[in-house]
Structure 1
Amino acid sequence: MNFLAHFFLSGTDEPLMAGNFLGDYLNNQQVAALPDAVQEGVRLHRQIDSFTDQHPLVRKGVRRMYGRHSKYATVLIDIFYDYLLTVNWAGFAAEPLPDFAQRAYRALEKHLHLMPEPVRSYVPQMIADDWLQKYGTYDGIAYTLKRMGGRMSRPELMDGALDTLRQQLPELNQEFQVFFPQVMDFVGLPKP
């Protein structure tokens, strides 16, 4: 899953949120230098990723996209699941999404000093552009895909990704509605 889901699955614990955000950006030596509460967030991130990558419904969605998007199918499903989380937000959270996004951004700002470059340099842009709420629109997904394409070895495999989301939305949403409560249970997050 992408940023929004990782923040959400951290509950209300700000150091956990910061560590969960950093999970993909740090090696084990860097993690060991963090405060214990932030280290726990990194561990949570990695546990969530492992649970997600092994889940049969997630794998089913990846297989549907693999022919068109190859190795980036797993990246796309992470992004698409953040989209689905935003459109289904009220079913999973009592806190309104705008309030949650601001709380997540505050957690990042409080822990910015712990972040390595280049992460530290793009967090202010993430906050200014409100990436977390943008996941809930096709334009926001297109923006995310464009931003990510610049860092990929084969960006052409991302071509047509927004069309894939539109075409597979019913199946993806049905799978997400089953999967997401299970990952919430996995991390011990209560449902509203």
Structure 2
Amino acid sequence: MNYVAHLHLAKITQTSYAGSLLGDFPWQPDPSAPKLLQGWRLHQAVDTFVDAHTESDRFKSMPRQGRRRFAGIVQDIAMDYWLIRHWADYDAQPFDAFASEAVSALVADKAYCPERLQRMITSLEDYNWLKELGTYEGVERAIHSIQKRWTLGHYLAPFIDELDVLLEQAHVPFNRLYPDVINEAQKRVLEGI
């Protein structure tokens, strides 16, 4: 799951929006910030659950040019794409209203976040690009962004070359996986993560 899914899970579970993103950023868990810590733990639990899910294995093993080892990274972005496209199936609140609410919640906790996440929150304040993750161009930009900041980013190039196929390949796994992710997140929060 990527940004939109983690933010949506924070909404559903009433946990910290900023904490829900911390798993993707270098951050030292801080016991004095329990809500952020809870969100961070939920992010970790969700990522572990998704990585072990049979639908993730199925997606990673589908024929494509990109290496299977890196398919999970692209799967996360593709899952956001399908979540936005199927938003009304998972939330009664319109996506634009959710995106505004999420950015406001992120801004409220921005001072407690690591510098790289603070920069991302600032970019969302300046231009809320969450909805773009539901477009082909937005997915392409997200992959390019990872390529730029990751030393192994060049391995993601084949996924961009076959992005239309990859997005279609992710559709069915998303529909089967996301309801399980929601249930797992709710269960984890009830159990104290």
Q: Superposition pairs for residues 91-102 of structure 1, below 5 Å? A: 91-102=89-100
1:80–1:165 contact (8 Å) kept in structure 2: no
Which stretches of structure 1, 4 residues or more, deviate above 6 A after TM superposition? none
Q: Which runs of 5+ in 1 are unaligned?
A: none
Q: Distance in 2 between matches of 1:106 and 1:45?
A: 19
The separation in 1 between residues aligned to 2:31 and 2:103, in whole angstroms, is 23
1:118-176 residue CA offsets vs partner (Å, 9 max, x unmatched): 22123211332323111011111111111111112233221132343311434321111
Moved more, 7-16 or 176-185: 7-16
Query: Does residue 4 of structure 2 align to residue 4 of structure 1?
Result: yes
CA distance in 2, matches of 1:45, 1:165: 26
Match of 1:134 in 2: 132
Cα contact 2:25–2:116 (8 A) shared by 1 = no
Shift of 1:31: 1.2
Matches within 5 A, 1:83-162: 83-162=81-160
Which whole-Å CA distance do the structure 1 matches of 2:4 and 2:168 have between them?
21
Q: Deviations over 1:39-93 (max 9, x none)?
A: 1111111110011010010111112267523432111000010001011111111
Aligned residues: 187
Matched residues in 2 for 1:152 and 1:61: separation?
A: 22
**3-state SS, counterpart of residue 31 of structure 1:** coil
Residue 75 of structure 2: aligned partner: 77
Mapping 1:37-76, distance limit 5 Å: 37-64=35-62, 68-76=66-74
Q: CA RMSD in A?
A: 2.1
Q: Which residue of 1 aligns with 2:191?
A: none
Q: 2:26 & 2:159 partners in 1: Cα distance?
A: 28
1:25 is aligned to 25
1:15 Cα deviation from its structure 2 partner = 5.4
What is the aligned partner in structure 2 of residue 173 from structure 1? Answer: 171
DSSP-derived class of the 1:174 partner: helix
Q: Distance in 1 between matches of 2:181 and 2:85?
A: 17
Partners of 1:115 and 1:107 lie apart in 2 by: 12
Would you say the 8 A contact 1:66–1:73 is kept in 2?
no
